[in-house]
Homo-oligomer: A and B are copies of this chain.
Amino acid sequence: MSAAHASAGGSAAAAVASGFFRSRWVERPPSAHELEPGTLPQGFRAAGVAAGLKPRGLDVGVLVSDEPGTTSAARFTTNALVGAPVAVSSEAALDLLRAVVANSAYANVSDGERGMATARESQAAAADLLDLPAEQIGLASTGKIAVELPGERLIDGIATAVANLGPDALDFSEAILSTDRGPKRASLELALPSGTVRLAAQAKGAGMISPRFATMLCFVQTDAALDAETLDLLTGVCVKRSFDRISVDGQLSTSDTVYALASGASGVRVEQQTEDELRFGEALDALLRQLALEVVGDGEGATRVGRVVVRGADELVEPVARAVADSPLVKTALLGADPNFGRILQATGQALAGRAPFVVDLDIEGHRVASAGQELELSAAEWQALERAVARPEVEIELTVPGSGGETEVFFSDLTHDYVSINADYST
């Protein structure tokens, strides 16, 4: 742990001047103010240690709630191939988790019975050290896949971490990183009608996946009291609006995991269908959306983030948004700050294959560039304004496809030389 921040978990934690909610696509929740990043809600302790899984740096983290009444929720990857930590955790008491154990460097995927044994042993070791049933421990591993995770180092690391648990998540949030450029974390204080609670989260990810070196993980804590059903509902909705809406390279990880734990230590209860729940949900939504945007912005090699919004028939909006977000041609145009709407229309047409006529409207940064599938003539001034707009760090694309009733969005990064280098030159 970073001693300088060790007091940040205390009640006097100062509000942060520079904002966490940097993206124009995330509304700052009105009832929230920011605490020092790493501040944990009441009832939680965490640690991150160097266990020798990485050549250098922190690589094993433990986060625990000391409140017996803690509730929890979890979400895992839908990939048919899942890591042993996902397989083992899926069978845990996901509504009653008290602790999570996370490691970077090795994802423990495709390692057969040996990998399963390592996952179970790490869960049992943490349970022993924390005096909890194994089924109340969630696991999360990220890093190389199809490579053995050194189990002894992991278990030694868990012991060291448990011995060093403290009131902030600064080191924990570093121990989960792989190719990330830096930690992704925030801590909020929420003024709910029923009282003040804290909400914090730590995430990592520089790709939906870049096997051998990445995965998306997120750990959420609050000291509000929520029954497990409410926490699960809110977590599910907010994950669908955040981590489910991002793409670095279109590649679904084998290890993606989100854990949310509510200690209840604030004494403030968030009941369903109350103003408390509404405000808490708003804040959780904003928190996860901004963290998801940080994952995209930190996508391997990324220099710019795009948002594609698609409106039209319910069954069309998702495939069109994914086709645009995952097109290497759209992604290289984003890198090149090129308002290349032909590529956006081509990807849209691919997703709509077999559905004529091609009646699609396209706006880039508020400029209508195509109507009913056909290019519009832009004035020189409009074109220049468009070129300036697409050179900014965030670029918005809006598509209207046939039909109505559906609307979705996907946030995506550009495709760069560094992405190729990270994944080709340095992977072996």
Which of A's residues lie within 8 Å of B, judged by CB?
Answer: 78-82, 109-112, 144-147, 209-212, 249-254, 327-329, 332-333, 335-336, 338, 340-343, 345-350, 352-356, 358, 360, 370, 373-375, 414-417, 419-421, 423-425, 427-428
B416 x A336 contact (CB < 8 A): no
How many monomers of this chain does the complex have? Answer: 2
Q: How far is the CA of A425 from the CA of B340 in the complex (A)?
A: 12
A252 x B211 contact (CB < 8 A): no
A338 x B375 contact (CB < 8 A): no
Q: How far is the CA of A144 from the CA of B329 in the complex (A)?
A: 13
CB-CB < 8 A to A81: which residues of B?
Answer: 345-346, 348-349, 352, 358, 360, 373
CB < 8 Å: which of B79, B352, B374, B420 contacts A111? B374
CB-CB < 8 A to A342: which residues of B?
Answer: 109-110, 144-147, 211-212
CB-CB < 8 A to A212: which residues of B?
Answer: 340, 342-343
A19 to nearest B CB, angstroms? 31
Given A346-B253, A374-B112, the answer on whether A428 and B336 have CB atoms closer than 8 Å is: yes
Q: How far is the CA of A342 from the CA of B427 in the complex (A)?
A: 11
B254 x A78 contact (CB < 8 A): no
A210 x B145 contact (CB < 8 A): no
CB-CB < 8 A to A346: which residues of B?
Answer: 79, 81, 109, 145, 209, 211, 251-254
A310 to nearest B CB, angstroms? 14
CB-CB < 8 A to A352: which residues of B?
Answer: 80-81
A353 x B146 contact (CB < 8 A): no
Q: List 11 A-B contacts (CB under 8 A).
A: A110-B342, A110-B345, A110-B373, A147-B342, A251-B328, A251-B350, A252-B349, A328-B419, A328-B423, A335-B420, A419-B420
CB-CB < 8 A to A427: which residues of B?
Answer: 332-333, 336, 338, 340
Q: How far is the CA of A82 from the CA of B336 in the complex (A)?
A: 25
Interface centre among A145, A333, A346 (most CB of B within 10 A): A346
Closest to A115 in B: B374
CB-CB < 8 A to A80: which residues of B?
Answer: 348-350, 352-356, 358
Q: How far is the CA of A417 from the CA of B419 in the complex (A)?
A: 9
B353 x A79 contact (CB < 8 A): yes
A211 to nearest B CB, angstroms? 5
Given A146-B342, A335-B424, A421-B417, the answer on whether A329 and B78 have CB atoms closer than 8 Å is: no
Q: How far is the CA of A371 from the CA of B110 in the complex (A)?
A: 10
Q: How far is the CA of A81 from the CA of B253 in the complex (A)?
A: 32
A205 to nearest B CB, angstroms? 14
A85 to nearest B CB, angstroms? 15
CB-CB < 8 A to A421: which residues of B?
Answer: 417
Q: How far is the CA of A253 from the CA of B250 in the complex (A)?
A: 20
A79 x B424 contact (CB < 8 A): no
B328 x A250 contact (CB < 8 A): yes
